[in-house]
Amino acid sequence: MENRIIIPERRIRIISSASVAGGDEENGPFGGSFDITDVNGRFGMETWEKSESEMQRLALGCAMRKGGIDVDSVDAMFAGDLLNQCVGSNYGLSDYRIPYFGLYGACSTAAEGMMLAAIMCSSAPRRCAAVTSSHYCSAERQFRYPLEYGGQRPPTAQWTVTGSGAFILSSEDEDCGEESEYTPVVKEMLPGFVVDRGINDVNNMGAAMAPAAADTIARYFSSGRDVKEPDMIVTGDLGREGSGILCDILASDGYDISDRHVDCGVLIYNIDEADKHSGGSGCGCSAVVMSAHILKNIRSGVIKDVLFIGTGALMSPLTLNQGSTIPGIGHLLRIVGEKR
Amino acid sequence: MENRIIIPERRIRIISSASVAGGDEENGPFGGSFDITDVNGRFGMETWEKSESEMQRLALGCAMRKGGIDVDSVDAMFAGDLLNQCVGSNYGLSDYRIPYFGLYGACSTAAEGMMLAAIMCSSAPRRCAAVTSSHYCSAERQFRYPLEYGGQRPPTAQWTVTGSGAFILSSEDEDCGEESEYTPVVKEMLPGFVVDRGINDVNNMGAAMAPAAADTIARYFSSGRDVKEPDMIVTGDLGREGSGILCDILASDGYDISDRHVDCGVLIYNIDEADKHSGGSGCGCSAVVMSAHILKNIRSGVIKDVLFIGTGALMSPLTLNQGSTIPGIGHLLRIVGEKR
């Protein structure tokens, strides 16, 4: 009961995934790896919120197409985003006649959705999807300032990724989904607690989320599992600032992860060249890096064993104005490549 | 695959629940039935948002206390509310070291949370909580006008319930939880699709949600189950307006539910006397009516067999301003009283 690691009762495979991204992301290190991109980030829509919804629609459609998966065969979709009332998902996925579970996990939504999809696939042979997104332009005006204002950012600030990722998980015996030598399998899960260490700087989300990620990772390794087992420990969007804090906290707990820790927010941009300060953030950040980079490398056998910790900051602009601090959360999945 | 009804692989009992409510609710038909009330709705806090968080904290604490349930024995909590970024739950439940899954299902959150708790309890002996809330004062200023403005409402408008409900579900064999002759058992579930029939009147949420509820209910009965089987068909918060539309749509589909349909939004207030227009709404509406009335009557044996359909309107003020219509959703649970 102490660490609360969940070991799925069935073999849960990630049978397909897809990524949709904007121009800054396409110009970064993973350019060419995303399934669908639009350099101006509009995706044919007249408002940024509709563009974000369209990214989710495209991402799920693409994941189904890549995996040869029919809408009728998907038992549920778990989806959420950063917009008020999660309208990116609500509107973006309304075209699909698939049972819909709306989530709010802030930037941890990709991990939260995959975890719930895996849990739902655990009790019966099922196929479930997880979808999420963020968009720089819709997030800026909702959480910070309208783009036209041109607000300055401090070095600890992060840049919301314009991107959407969709993942389809299955516990069926049938060998379906994307063609590849290896299949990513969800071996273990550890959902996070809400952790609030008193950070109230809206321009330093990494510092607010790092203690939550550290709490989950420390609980995971306190079970006796070895820090050296996974090839990579991948956090969602701590950025440079939060990544340093995470490694420091865990080192003081006796877990040195620094030689295998990477952060999707640090990976997604050529940070200095692109002037992205502490790195990328947003639900789309870990979603597109997981789909276009990590899972792709697991499929090809380059990476075998990954600890993925989706990180989220659970505040709202209103709670910050009311003087509250920023609670964080970190949801952990252990994903291992297995021969098909 | 057609109707997608989920029959839990284990016996899932609702072992405990609690309700917290404000003054208007305490003055309604269920006055005296709620576990905790504060007639001024402040719950000792200096902002309405903090009052709402406090209601969730109190509701979950009370449900655990009533059931003799320890924090460490709860495997997960599923929670959400109507506030931007679901801060009612994020902050309200941060005191509890329980794995946290944030949801956004609008007013359907009680049903969505219970369903996910039941799904998580299906694959192993587990104990999971579902918590949700709404608050008239925080909802008004976020979705409509500041209270001080004194905006007028048309007759189709609904009144956001100040209330929070918490439910603890278990698939353990151990006979635990609230003392009662009967135990509510989740026998079947049917998650909803997102359904958008083009309603764009923010003062008529009932009309936006009714088609989604009808879609789910019609799929449920299309499986061959008889409309006369359940004692009651309980919808979340369609109000008078939406309830009439629901019964009309289903009648045209060949399902006459009018003699057993009730709506939590209609039940919770003495509508005309209290000037509540079409009735109550909000996540708290179905949550407190389920806990303080329906489940209580199942426990005592007065009601045996209930179809509960949580209903939600998945728009945001921004999407309406951008000319979008209001998507709805209806999540169905069949809850039956069984001898302990």
- The answer on B108 and B68 residing in a single domain is yes
Q: Is residue B4 part of a domain?
A: no
Task: For residues A54 and A52, give the distance between their C-alpha atoms in angstroms, rounded to a whole number.
Answer: 5
Domain check: are B102 and B225 in the same one?
no
- DSSP 8-state secondary structure symbol assigned to residue B270: -
A283 close to A329: Cβ distance less than 8 angstroms? no
- Tell whether A199 is covered by a domain: yes
- Residue showing tokens 């070991």: A7
Residue A176 in any domain: the answer is no
pLDDT at B2 (0 to 100)? 60
- The reply to whether A123 and A224 lie within a common domain is no
Cβ within 8 Å of residue A176, ≥6 positions away: A15, A67, A68, A69, A170
CA triple A185-A186-A192, angle to 5 deg: 160
Angle (deg, nearest 10), helices B239-252 and B205-221: 40
Which single residue is written with the structure tokens 């399998």?
A: A185
B325 at A interface, C-beta within 8 A: no
For helices B48-67 and B136-143, the axis angle rounded to 10 degrees is: 140
* DSSP states of B105-134: -GGGHHHHHHHHHHHHHHSSS-EEEEEEEE
Q: Considering CB atoms only, which of B72, B102, B112 is closest to A1?
A: B72
Q: Which residues of A touch B11 (CB under 8 A)?
A: none
Burial group, residue A181, by CB count within 10 angstroms (0-12, 13-18, 19+): exposed
Residue A281 near residue A160 (C-beta atoms within 8 A): yes
CATH number at residue B216: 3.40.47.40
Pair (B39, B131) in one structural domain: yes
Within-domain flag for B300 = yes
- Alpha-carbon span B49 to A93, nearest angstrom: 29
Please classify residue B322 by burial: count the beta carbons closer than 10 Å to its beta carbon, then call 0-12 exposed, 13-18 middle and 19+ buried.
Answer: middle
A105 and A209 both lie in a single domain = no
Which residue of chain B has the CA closest to A4? B75
Q: List alpha helices for B222-277, DSSP H.
A: 239-252, 264-267, 271-274
For residues B156 and B194, state if they share a domain: no
Tokens for B280, please give them: 């109550």
Cα four-point dihedral sign B83, B189, A128, A119: positive
CA distances from A114 to A335, B27, B58, B332 (A): 11, 43, 30, 23
Decide the pairing of beta strands B261-263 and B328-339: unpaired
Contact A67, A59 (CB under 8 A): no
B307, two tokens? 């179809």
Closest CA to B33 of B273, B340, B249, B288: B288
Gap between the terminal Cα atoms of chain A: 33
Type of residue numbered B83:
L
Q: How many domains does chain B have?
A: 2
Pairing type for strands A163-170 and A12-22 reads antiparallel
The three-state secondary structure class of A128 is strand
Cβ pair B102:A106 closer than 8 A = yes
Give the closest of A87, A100, A105 to B316, CB-based: A87
Partners of residue B337 on adjacent β-strands? B184
Q: Residue B237 in contact with residue B285, Cβ under 8 Å?
A: yes
DSSP H or E segment with residue A137: helix A136-143
Give the HSE-up count for residue B317: Cα atoms under 13 Å, Cβ half-sphere: 11
Other CB atoms within a 10 A radius of the CB of residue B188 amount to 18
- Measure the CA–CA gap between A163 and A160, rounded to whole angstroms: 9
Cβ distance B318 to A87 less than 8 Å, yes or no, reads: yes
Residue B111's contacts (CB-CB under 8 Å, 6 or more residues apart) are: B105, B236, B286, B308, B309, B310, B331, B332, B333
Residue to test with chain B: of A101, A140, A200, most B Cβ within 10 A: A101
pLDDT at res. A2: 60
CA atoms within 13 A on the CB side of B49: 22
Q: Is B317 on the interface with A (CB under 8 A)?
A: yes
Please indicate if any CB of chain A lies within 8 Å of the CB of B252: no
Instruction: Give the dihedral of Cα atoms A261, A116, A86, B247; nearest 10 deg.
Output: 180
- Domain stops at, among A129, A150, A170: A170
**Which residues fall within 8 angstroms of residue A261, CB to CB, at 6 or more apart?**
A232, A233, A234, A235, A243, A246, A247
In a mutagenesis test of the B interface, which of A104, A126, A171 is the best target, namely the one with the most B β-carbons within 10 Å?
Answer: A104
Same domain as A190, residue A72 = no
Largest interatomic CA distance in chain B:
54
Do B35 and B130 reside in the same domain of the chain?
yes
Question: Which chain A residue has its CA at the smallest distance from B98's CA?
Answer: A193
Nearest-angstrom CA–CA distance, A218 and B161: 40
> What 3-state DSSP class applies to B307?
strand
| b/e A225-242 (16+ beta carbons within 10 angstroms → b) | eebeebbbbbbbbbbbbb
| A101 and A210 housed in the same domain | no
Low-confidence ranges of chain A (pLDDT < 50): 1
Contact of A29 with chain B, judged by CB distance below 8 Å, is answered with: no
Tokens of B207: 């009309």
Report CB contact under 8 Å: A191, B319: no
The residue of chain B with its CA nearest to that of A107 is B85
Q: What is the C-alpha separation between A218 and B59, in angstroms, rounded?
A: 30
Q: pLDDT at position B1, please? A: 47
Domain endpoint, select from A147, A170, A193:
A170
Residues B298, B333, A116: CA angle, nearest 5 degrees:
130
Distance of alpha carbon A237 from the chain centroid: 8
**Ranges of chain B whose pLDDT falls below 70:** 1-2
> Of the candidates B93, B123, B318, which has its C-beta nearest A9's C-beta?
B123
In a domain, A5, yes or no: no
ipTM exceeds 0.90, yes or no? yes
Q: Clarify whether residues B223 and B297 are in a common domain.
A: yes
In a domain, A229, yes or no: yes
The parent domain of residue A140 ranges over 12-170
Chain B residues within 8 A of A317 when measuring between CB atoms: 84
Residue/partner pairs of A32-37 with CB below 8 Å, 24 or more apart: A33/A292, A33/A293, A33/A296, A34/A163, A34/A288, A34/A292, A35/A59, A35/A62, A35/A66, A35/A291, A35/A292, A36/A62
Q: Answer with the one of B170, B196, B219 that is the final residue of a domain.
A: B170
The first and second tokens of residue A157, run together, are 């600030």
A97-118: b (≥16 Cβ within 10 Å) or e:
ebbbbbbbbbbbbbbbbbbbbb
A169 reaches B (C-beta below 8 A): no
Nearest to B290 by CA among B260, B326, B335, B253: B335
Q: Does A188 touch chain B (CB under 8 A)?
A: no
Please indicate, yes or no, whether residues A24 and A126 belong to a single structural domain of this protein.
yes
Q: What is the DSSP string of B45-77?
A: -SSHHHHHHHHHHHHHHHHHHHHT--GGG--EE
Does any domain span residue A175?
Answer: no
- Alpha-carbon dihedral A106, A112, A114, A115, rounded to 10 degrees: 180
Residue B47 contacts A, CB cutoff 8 Å: yes
Same domain, B86 and B42: yes
Does residue B176 belong to any structural domain of this protein? no
- CA dist A40 and A100 (Å) reads 29
